[in-house]
Amino acid sequence: MKRANVRGFRIVREPYASLAETPFTVDHFDAAGNLIATLGSYPDLASGRQAFNDAVRHRPQRRLFLRHGAQVVAKHPPD
């Protein structure tokens, strides 16, 4: 953890987690199969599935995937 002072404010910067530490991702793809955004990355399947379900509930019109690396664990809408 790095610390820095910027104009009197103390800022704590956490290092980015590696892919090995957060292997489950919730991703938004377009209809052509291009990755638009990674909505989040999670360390275990339970938290990844909960985040995926929340994303589907809040964004039902989007094409969302829960992935473990390249493997698709869940997708919305299902084909």
Report how far residue 65's alpha carbon sits from residue 63's, in angstroms, rounded to the nearest whole number: 7
Domain span at residue 56 reads 17-76
The one-letter code for the residue type at 19 is L
Structural domain includes residue 12: no
Joined together, the tokens standing for residue 61 give 């019109």
Structural domains counted in the chain: 1
pLDDT at 75 (0 to 100)? 95
Structural domain includes residue 5: no
Structural domain includes residue 6: no
Structural domain includes residue 3: no
What is the pLDDT averaged over residues 54-75?
Answer: 94
The pLDDT-based confidence of 78 (bands split at 50, 70, 90) is: confident
Strand, coil or helix: what is 70?
A: coil
CA proximity to 32, closest of 77, 63, 73:
63
Joined together, the tokens standing for residue 57 give 């509930």
Structural domain includes residue 2: no
The pLDDT-based confidence of 18 (bands split at 50, 70, 90) is: low
